[in-house]
Every structure is written in C-alpha cells, then in structure tokens.
C-alpha cells in the first residue's frame, strides 16, 4: 500500500483498461485560473494556447472523469509542493512589472513527477473506489470515507494546475469539512488579493476578448452517484448538505496480472 500508484490505476470498478487523457481545466477565464496565470509567471494567452498539452491533462479511467470535471475529486499535491507554489505566488504578486515574475514551471523544486493524495467530496460520493497496485497488480477496495487510499504519482501535469483543482475542491467543501493543516483556500486568496495582481489580471482578461466566466465545462457522462455542478469562482454559494457519518474503511485484495506500468 505504500507504493505510489499511477494516476490511471484508480477506478469505480474492477476494470482498469478504459483510461484516456483528460483535460484538467477546460477554460482559463475563471477568477482562480486568471489569478494563477498571473501568479505563476505565465504569459497572457499562454494557457489558452497550451491547454490541450500534457501539462493540463490527466490520464484517468473514464468513470472518474466527470468527478474531476465538477471538482468533486482531485489529486492534491503535498503540502511541501503547495508551500513552494505559495512562495512563487508571493514573489510574483508583489512584482510591479509582469516581466519581473519568475515561472513556476521553471522552479527546480517543483519538477515532475508530483506526489499527490486523491481527495473526494465525501458529502456526495460514498461508493467503493478501487486501486491497482503498480507492482503486484493486486486490487484494493476502499470504502467510504476512503481512509485507505494510497498516494499517487502524477508524471506530466503541472503542479500549479493540480493545485488549482485541489483549491476548487477544498473551497467547495470548506463549510462542511475540517480544514487541512495547510489551508490553501485561505492562503491562495491572501496572495491573490494584491493590487499588483489585480492590475496584471486586466491584461489577461483583455487578451481573452470575452467576459470572464465562473463556470467550468459541463461534465461528460454521469458518475455513479449524482452531484451538483460546482463553480470555479470565489463567489459561489456554499452547499449546506452535511457529510454522512463515516463508515469503517476496509480493504479487499484479489490477485491480478502485474501492471505493465
């Protein structure tokens, strides 16, 4: 269970043969993503030009993709990675000139792959999740509240873009879950709200040639349990639904062919 699992070796069923490359963020015109582009050293229009590249994609089982679309499931980088992202943010959001920023994707401490946990909005999802061991091929069954899930290694997705997806999930659930030791919702907001970032954001919005959107793309397909569409926007209404009482997590393993990965 201590081995880092590939991103595509987690599923809602026992099959792991139906994975595909899936875009993490479909649009770059939301407030958090515009703030991230400024704070991470990207150039105006760069995210739009590169959004179909590997840095904005995850290799996912198809039955999980809708949950990533709605930000009710996300790969969360470690707190060590988040602290390094925040350090870049703090430098860049204090720059009076765009050209004085440093690039997050050129920061040596943030090189790929990224070690992540898998986070789930447990107020909306309670079905078993299955993972496949990368060395033994053994399949483990993880029951709500998913305390036995392993950690994952993400080989090509940008740490900052993973961080924005985790931020969206944390923000959507912050009124009904205990905060993580590193409260990224609070910390991200604190560094995004500088006068320099607000001014630089205008350049990015102008480049879009369209009003900023607060909605991500609608999920394709339907996950095993229904869920409301969430917004990637800091003005969204909070859901009042409370998580159910946690059941005891268990693990069931069955022999499988060793993964080729």
What angle is formed at CA 68 by the lines to CA 3 and CA 24, rounded to 5 degrees? 90
Q: What is the pLDDT of residue 2?
A: 79
H or E element, residue 67: helix 65-69
Helices 31-39, 79-92: axis angle to 10 degrees equals 80
Q: Beta strand pairing status for 5-6 and 10-11?
A: unpaired
Q: What is the pLDDT of residue 174?
A: 72
Exposure string of 185-200, with b = 16+ CB inside 10 Å and e = fewer, is bebbeebbebebbeeb
| Structural contact between residues 115 and 81, judged by C-beta atoms closer than 8 angstroms | yes
- Residue 148: count other Cβ atoms within 10 Å of its Cβ: 15
**CA atoms of 239 and 61, how far apart (whole Å):** 27
Q: What is the pLDDT of residue 100?
A: 96
Q: What is the pLDDT of residue 244?
A: 33
DSSP annotation of 93 reads T
Omega cis (within 30) before 145: yes
Single pTM value for the model: 0.79
Contacts of 236 (CB under 8 A, 6+ apart): 171, 172, 214, 230
For the stretch 62-94, pLDDT in tens is 999 999 999 999 999 999 999 999 999 999 999
Q: What is the pLDDT of residue 177?
A: 65
Residues of the chain with pLDDT under 50: 211-229, 235-261
């Amino acid at each position: 269970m201590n081995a880092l699992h590939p991103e595509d070796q987690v599923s809602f069923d026992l099959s792991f043969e139906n994975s595909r490359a899936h875009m993490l963020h479909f649009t770059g015109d939301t407030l958090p993503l515009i703030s991230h582009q400024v704070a991470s050293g990207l150039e105006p229009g760069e995210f739009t030009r590169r959004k179909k590249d590997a840095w904005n994609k995850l290799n996912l089982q198809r039955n999980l993709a809708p949950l990533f679309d709605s930000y009710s499931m996300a790969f969360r980088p470690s707190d060590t990675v988040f602290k390094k992202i925040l350090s870049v943010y703090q430098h860049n959001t204090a720059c009076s000139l765009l050209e004085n920023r440093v690039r997050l994707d050129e920061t040596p401490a943030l090189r790929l792959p990224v070690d992540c946990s898998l986070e789930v909005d447990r107020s909306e999802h309670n079905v078993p999740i299955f993972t496949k061991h990368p060395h033994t091929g053994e399949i483990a069954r993880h029951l709500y509240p998913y305390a036995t899930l392993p950690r994952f290694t993400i080989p090509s997705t940008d740490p900052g873009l993973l961080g924005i997806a985790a931020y969206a999930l944390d923000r959507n659930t912050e009124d009904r879950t205990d905060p993580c030791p590193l409260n990224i919702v609070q910390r991200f907001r604190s560094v995004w709200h500088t006068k320099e970032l607000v001014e630089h954001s205008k350049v990015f919005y102008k480049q879009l040639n369209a009003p900023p959107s607060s909605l991500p793309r609608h999920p394709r397909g339907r996950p095993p349990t229904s869920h409301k569409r969430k917004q990637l926007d800091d003005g969204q209404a909070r859901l009042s639904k409370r998580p159910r009482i946690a059941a005891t997590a268990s693990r069931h393993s069955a022999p499988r062919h060793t993964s080729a990965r």
